[in-house]
A and B are shown apart, each in its own frame.
Chain A
């Protein structure tokens, strides 16, 4: 077991980024033209990084699996983006955003990174406005804000319920501008299948053209992964169908450490599961908790009748409703952080108070807000979300309370990176949800968009320069070198191996099986026993996959079954690492709830003495992974039990 060096600059946390920017090495414009950078993923982090690096004059190649960079799943983020502008004069500051993020993450994030995130948050809003993001405004033309969970100020900027879409289109537009300027070259409909390492440094990638099946080799002086999270390990999640952990997983197998894989965010407000044919879960924005009140019946008889469909929620009198978040957490009420809200919903449903036919749902009720503000105001605020709900569930949420239940949404864990956003492989960077760095054990709402754009627009363009300043003498390398040829062969061999199985079941069959194990044993509540069970069951599913998978067609054509099979093969390994990490972390913190470790009133009980560290796992061929620790030292924030009461 080794310890890891975060390379955070010396000095007070508020001075570190300033110091870094003033002292990091630079690359002059003439040399930038000679340096190639590969970016994988076109979401907020990838698109903004490629645009910013292109503006600086580097040669950038960017890859996505979708038909257009605009499809990346950042587009689906609804509620908003945080920034410490204090436009509402309600006491916000960089320090408060930093503090709320550390606390919200249950003291498992690195102070230096989080402070930097809070510092650059304001620049993101400025830049997004300058590139044409139509944020909500008041009548005088100034920017409007709303509140999100885990904070007592209104610091969330939004564009209706489509903030992610508008921010992504902003970054996409800037990316398009660089494509026109020929600093960025776009490769869509590509699956990146391996990272090429030459003399210990990341120097390229192997990609499969999804239309022709051709295997391509691309060189870069550095490689940046902005490939999102691995929530789809659970099969059902709010992620897009194609969201996957494969590139991060291949990086892990090439020596990049994987940090805190067990930190998964289960989002409290999603539309409940309704059938075994279901392909994904749909999120209802956290912003709904600004005006919606969450409740279940007080009386178990009422819950039973709801479950049988004998009565409707609106028939239950006010006095018989249990607004359990307001009851348990009077200070934050319905706006407690996501992990707290999810667990509270599970607790009520486990106790038998669920409100739909499966008993796995709670009400999110807008009747008070509609009475107070009028239907028109609610429609202006959340109209598109209400419409989305009605289309899926076939019930009108203006009249009947919405039914919601927690679902897998985001992964705080990811590739371990240092302060420079570099993984343990030199020249290999990870940004956005793909890295582990800023959210600790629980991410606050409206902070994912902030982190993606912070990494892409304002952090990586500085830190990668520090690395590339030492590469100005490195000539572009041929993609016919032995390392490239070997990586290409490995990718082709794996495709052949998948085809050669010739079993009976499609990839989804195994993915669903894995998902059930993950949700059951590595889900919202984890125990020593459940995790050991998962570690026993996952290899069995993997074995079955490698002996009974069936892929139709052939590898030299458009073949979605082949794409899925490769991704599922990786999820089947990643899921096991998640369970191992969860087993190792014998404490509860944030989204990681070990049922053995809880306070008397059922809150997550941390163990700072033994677990105030980042768990970074190193891949070992045919052996259990090795744990490395990065101790988390809190110099600015005092570690206390999180309290939202």
Chain B
């Protein structure tokens, strides 16, 4: 198929960005979206034009490094996938595709389509863990965790930290991301000891870094490639409230 790509170009964090249009032809429907950008970039290099910078690594939907709004949707026009799993069969010959970086204050643009998501690491550094030193653990089966709780915890732990939730939210709220980690750990008996400290520290950090509040629109859940549920946000609110009351 033949397509027109409207891509956000921005030389650096300080530079002013703008859309540029690039025609591209002979793209196979079985080609992945990022492979289509690879093809464009090879052409751009040959034409002496700086290739489009974008984040990507595993290309199988698990590392969370790829991002992009494609036609205004985080991770593009398909459900429950990351951009690297999007295939060109989702588009039609002659389409114009608009490609932008995540737009959120706490995720500044580094170059073109690449943003800095270091804020996510900072939130987790402030409490997204269980304090267990290596070598001090009891036998793994000494802690019984019923299948239901283990599965619920796993549902939340499946978060890949891509930032689509923040990008989808009109307030740039990180509540879905934070609540996924809070739920993952709070649902496990070994995570309960620190649950209150964790909830307070992570929420404080999230606010400090400039993420907005949650107004329950559900856009985060709709765009999450891993189907993380907003019921986790309810659990986060409960954990946080209990922590504050207990104080």
Whether a CB of chain A sits under 8 angstroms from the CB of B137 is yes
Stretch at the interface among A161-169, A288-296, A598-606: A161-169
Whether a CB of chain A sits under 8 angstroms from the CB of B221 is no
Whether a CB of chain B sits under 8 angstroms from the CB of A317 is no
Which residue, A126, A130, A159, A561, has most C-beta atoms of chain B within 10 A?
A: A130
Whether a CB of chain A sits under 8 angstroms from the CB of B217 is no
- Tell me if B157 and A240 are in contact (CB < 8 A): no
- When distances are taken between beta carbons in the complex, the residues of chain A under 8 Å from B63 are 66, 70-73, 75-76, 240
From B85, B116, B131, give the contact of A391 (CB < 8 A): B85
Whether a CB of chain B sits under 8 angstroms from the CB of A633 is no
Whether a CB of chain A sits under 8 angstroms from the CB of B207 is no
Q: How far is the CA of A231 from the CA of B51 in the complex (A)?
A: 25
On chain A, the number of residues with a Cβ less than 8 Å from chain B's Cβ atoms is 83
Known: A127-B134, A136-B150, A173-B129. A67 touches B34 (CB 8 A): no
- When distances are taken between beta carbons in the complex, the residues of chain B under 8 Å from A560 are 51, 53
On chain B, the number of residues with a Cβ less than 8 Å from chain A's Cβ atoms is 80
- Tell me if B58 and A75 are in contact (CB < 8 A): yes
Which residue, A69, A132, A282, has most C-beta atoms of chain B within 10 A?
A: A132
Whether a CB of chain A sits under 8 angstroms from the CB of B50 is yes
- When distances are taken between beta carbons in the complex, the residues of chain A under 8 Å from B191 are 132
Whether a CB of chain A sits under 8 angstroms from the CB of B204 is no
- Tell me if B131 and A137 are in contact (CB < 8 A): no
Stretch at the interface among A92-100, A270-278, A307-315: A270-278
Whether a CB of chain A sits under 8 angstroms from the CB of B46 is yes
- Please give the distance in Å from A119's CB to the nearest CB on chain B: 14
Known: A66-B63, A76-B63. A134 touches B188 (CB 8 A): yes
Whether a CB of chain A sits under 8 angstroms from the CB of B74 is no
- Tell me if A143 and B110 are in contact (CB < 8 A): no
**Cβ contacts B169-186/A at 8 Å (1 or 0 each):** 000000000000000110
- Please give the distance in Å from B39's CB to the nearest CB on chain A: 6
- Please give the distance in Å from B177's CB to the nearest CB on chain A: 12
- Tell me if B60 and A457 are in contact (CB < 8 A): no
Stretch at the interface among A174-182, A476-484, A580-588, A636-644: A174-182
Q: How far is the CA of A143 from the CA of B85 in the complex (A)?
A: 32
Residue of A nearest to B136 (CB): A130
Residue of A nearest to B65 (CB): A71
Q: How far is the CA of A55 from the CA of B131 in the complex (A)?
A: 10
- Tell me if A159 and B154 are in contact (CB < 8 A): yes
Whether a CB of chain A sits under 8 angstroms from the CB of B28 is yes
- Please give the distance in Å from B156's CB to the nearest CB on chain A: 9
Stretch at the interface among A7-15, A248-256, A326-334, A549-557: A549-557
Whether a CB of chain A sits under 8 angstroms from the CB of B215 is no
- When distances are taken between beta carbons in the complex, the residues of chain A under 8 Å from B30 are 274-275, 394
- Tell me if A186 and B121 are in contact (CB < 8 A): yes
**Cβ contacts B138-157/A at 8 Å (1 or 0 each):** 11110111110011011001
Which residue, B28, B32, B118, B136, has most C-beta atoms of chain A within 10 A?
A: B32
- Tell me if A126 and B57 are in contact (CB < 8 A): no
- Tell me if B157 and A134 are in contact (CB < 8 A): yes
- B39-90 at interface with A (beta carbon < 8 Å): 39, 41-42, 44-46, 48-51, 53, 55-65, 78, 80-81, 85, 87, 89
Whether a CB of chain A sits under 8 angstroms from the CB of B214 is no
- B100-151 at interface with A (beta carbon < 8 Å): 110-111, 114, 116-118, 120-121, 124-126, 128-141, 143-147, 150-151
Which residue, A51, A85, A143, has most C-beta atoms of chain B within 10 A?
A: A143
Known: A137-B146, A179-B125, A508-B38. A279 touches B32 (CB 8 A): yes
- Tell me if A162 and B158 are in contact (CB < 8 A): yes
Whether a CB of chain B sits under 8 angstroms from the CB of A473 is no
Known: A52-B134, A550-B45, A558-B53. A241 touches B59 (CB 8 A): yes
**Cβ contacts A551-579/B at 8 Å (1 or 0 each):** 11100011011000000000000000000
SS of B interface (majority): loop
Whether a CB of chain A sits under 8 angstroms from the CB of B209 is no
From B42, B140, B160, give the contact of A126 (CB < 8 A): B140
Whether a CB of chain A sits under 8 angstroms from the CB of B190 is yes
- Tell me if A126 and B139 are in contact (CB < 8 A): yes
- Tell me if A279 and B45 are in contact (CB < 8 A): no
- Tell me if A134 and B184 are in contact (CB < 8 A): yes
Which residue, A137, A143, A274, has most C-beta atoms of chain B within 10 A?
A: A137
Residue of A nearest to B38 (CB): A279
Known: A71-B64, A134-B184, A279-B32. A392 touches B87 (CB 8 A): yes
- Tell me if A129 and B61 are in contact (CB < 8 A): no
Q: How far is the CA of A451 from the CA of B78 in the complex (A)?
A: 37
- Tell me if B145 and A137 are in contact (CB < 8 A): yes
Known: A177-B131, A278-B35. A552 touches B147 (CB 8 A): no
- When distances are taken between beta carbons in the complex, the residues of chain A under 8 Å from B144 are 140-142
- A60-113 at interface with B (beta carbon < 8 Å): 66-73, 75-76, 85, 87
- Tell me if A282 and B60 are in contact (CB < 8 A): yes
- Tell me if B46 and A134 are in contact (CB < 8 A): no
- Tell me if A143 and B120 are in contact (CB < 8 A): no
- Tell me if A71 and B57 are in contact (CB < 8 A): yes
Residue of A nearest to B26 (CB): A277
- Tell me if B140 and A85 are in contact (CB < 8 A): yes
**Cβ contacts A455-468/B at 8 Å (1 or 0 each):** 00110010000000
Q: How far is the CA of A127 from the CA of B137 in the complex (A)?
A: 5
Whether a CB of chain A sits under 8 angstroms from the CB of B161 is yes
Whether a CB of chain A sits under 8 angstroms from the CB of B21 is no
Beyond A388-B85, A392-B85, 7 additional pairs, beta carbon < 8 A: A68-B121, A141-B146, A142-B144, A166-B157, A388-B60, A457-B134, A558-B111
Q: Which residues of B line the A interface, CB within 8 A?
A: 11-12, 28, 30-32, 34-35, 38-39, 41-42, 44-46, 48-51, 53, 55-65, 78, 80-81, 85, 87, 89, 110-111, 114, 116-118, 120-121, 124-126, 128-141, 143-147, 150-151, 153-154, 157-158, 160-161, 184-185, 188, 190-191
30 A–B pairs (Cβ distance < 8 Å), ordered by A: A52-B134, A68-B161, A71-B58, A71-B65, A75-B63, A127-B137, A129-B137, A130-B138, A132-B184, A132-B188, A134-B150, A141-B144, A141-B145, A141-B147, A143-B140, A160-B154, A165-B158, A173-B129, A177-B129, A186-B121, A242-B57, A277-B35, A282-B59, A387-B80, A391-B81, A457-B134, A506-B41, A506-B46, A552-B45, A557-B11
